[in-house]
Amino acid sequence: MQREFPSAPIVGIGAIVIEEGRVLLVRRGREPLKGHWTLPGGALEVGESLTAGVAREVLEETGLHVQPVELVELVDRIHREDGRVRYHYVIADYLCRVTGGELQAASDADAVRWVERAEWNSHSALVLDPVTVMVMEKGWQRARTLRTQAQEGP
């Protein structure tokens, strides 16, 4: 399916990867949001499950193997240009945990890095979209809840 000026929305997947109190971000090398720091992710391929797509995209963009834990958010990303829809993604963002690999920028990511929570909640030098910040915060809170439940046990 054509990504730019599509005839229908495209299903996308994103990963909220949290490790040691940090979130994994990539700087986009292509539109939409070129130059912005975003969650790793991309378009789902035909015949691919959502969780398989998340794992594939994270590996392609960051070199890390992840295991999706649970769906955190479903968002619309609609970018208009001259009254037309230039991009339209419906993105399923999953909380993920790292299972292996080595961190390195690849695919359509210009850079990749771990970001402390204080960096995305402040006016840092990172160029972040408000929707990305909202999804990161929601994933962060869910990860904290799961961690607390695991520590308390049955």
CA distance 19 to 97: 7
Cis (ω within 30 of 0) for the bond into 6? no
CA distance 50 to 56: 10
CA distance 98 to 112: 15
Other CB atoms within 10 Å distance of the CB of residue 106: 12
CA distance 24 to 83: 34
Task: Please write the tens of the pLDDT for every residue from 31-64.
Answer: 777 888 899 999 999 999 999 999 999 999 999 9
Tokens (6 digits) for 31: 């539109």
CA distance 66 to 118: 24
CATH homologous superfamily, domain 10-152:
Nucleoside Triphosphate Pyrophosphohydrolase (3.90.79.10)
Average pLDDT for 23-33: 84
CA distance 106 to 60: 6
Q: Is 0.95 topped by the overall pTM?
A: no
Q: Where are the domains of the chain?
A: 10-152
Task: Please write the tens of the pLDDT for every residue from 94-128.
Answer: 999 999 999 998 877 789 999 998 887 765 678 88
